[in-house]
């Protein structure tokens, strides 16, 4: 079952807890984002409303975890629904994640440092960085705790992501999940030996 999600911005003219100022979308007005989830039959199976200042990617996992009936095999979003954190977490939760990038050339792709002797001249998509696999290994217990918390629905993924992003410097767990994402990305994009 292929599912997808996307957000729309709406101006709000009355007082609202979710509304926030966004000059980019509303000038001097306030607005909200309405984020909806659909399946391949074009059935709407989940929606949520949040501040227009929040990033859509934080709510992708919330929608996937909310539904007990529509079991997504693969989920797609646009660039605004993508983050490295969502990619790593969705994989560990058992969802295939296939974001649609507006500009793939601007995305960073990673490779293991130990891949010596590979001829990358024929690769159409070339890695631009190296994976910090030690960081993912070092924080593996914390990563599993994060996934268990989301899976058991103790707290929403958007709340956890918001907490990880609220620190003045990126949290070590956030970096570890990003390192995990890089490992998964190599498994997907690199050609076999």
More confident residue, 2 or 106: 2
Q: Is the pLDDT of residue 188 over 70?
A: no
Q: What is the pLDDT of residues 131-174, one digit of tens each?
A: 777 777 888 888 889 899 999 999 999 998 888 877 756 777 87
Length of the chain: 193
- CB-facing half-sphere around the CA of 55: CA atoms within 13 A: 19
pLDDT greater than 50 at residue 22: yes
Place of tokens 């999600």: 5
Instruction: Say if CB 18 and CB 89 are below 8 A apart.
Output: no
Confidence of residue 180 (pLDDT cuts 50, 70, 90): low
Cα–Cα distances (Å) from 66 to 48, 104, 180, in that order, read 11, 30, 24
Whole-number pLDDT of residue 26: 85
pLDDT at 45 over 70: yes
What is the predicted pLDDT for the residue at 152?
Answer: 92
- Within 10 angstroms of residue 130's Cβ, the number of other Cβ atoms is 13
**What φ, ψ does residue 110 adopt, rounded to 5°?**
-120, 160
pLDDT at 97: 85
Is residue 36 predicted with pLDDT exceeding 90? yes
Q: What are phi and psi of 25, to 5 degrees?
A: -100, -30
**Which of residues 127 and 11 earns the better pLDDT score?**
11
**Better pLDDT: 124 or 73:** 73
Q: pTM surpassing 0.85?
A: no
Give the pLDDT of residue 117. Answer: 66
Q: Out of 95-99, 130-134, 183-187, which region has the weakest mean confidence (pLDDT)?
A: 183-187
The secondary structure of residue 99, as a DSSP letter, is -
Residue percentage of the chain with pLDDT more than 90: 16
């Amino acid at each position: 079952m292929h599912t997808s999600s996307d957000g729309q911005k709406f101006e709000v003219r009355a007082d609202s807890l979710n509304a926030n100022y966004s000059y980019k979308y509303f000038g001097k007005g306030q607005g909200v984002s309405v984020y909806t989830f659909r399946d391949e039959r074009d059935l709407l199976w989940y929606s949520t409303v949040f501040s227009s200042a929040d990033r859509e990617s934080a709510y992708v996992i919330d929608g996937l975890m909310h539904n007990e009936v529509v079991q997504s095999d693969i989920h797609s979003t646009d660039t605004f629904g993508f983050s490295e954190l969502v990619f790593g977490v969705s994989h560990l939760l058992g969802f295939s994640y296939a974001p649609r990038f507006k500009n793939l050339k601007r995305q960073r792709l990673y490779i293991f440092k130990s891949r010596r002797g590979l001829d990358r001249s024929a690769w159409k998509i070339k890695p631009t960085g190296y994976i910090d696999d030690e960081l993912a290994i070092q924080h593996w217990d914390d990563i599993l705790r994060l996934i268990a918390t989301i899976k058991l629905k103790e707290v929403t993924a958007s709340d956890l992501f918001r907490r990880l992003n609220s620190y003045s410097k990126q949290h070590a767990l956030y970096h570890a999940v990003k390192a995990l994402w890089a490992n998964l990305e190599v498994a997907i994009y690199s050609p076999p030996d």
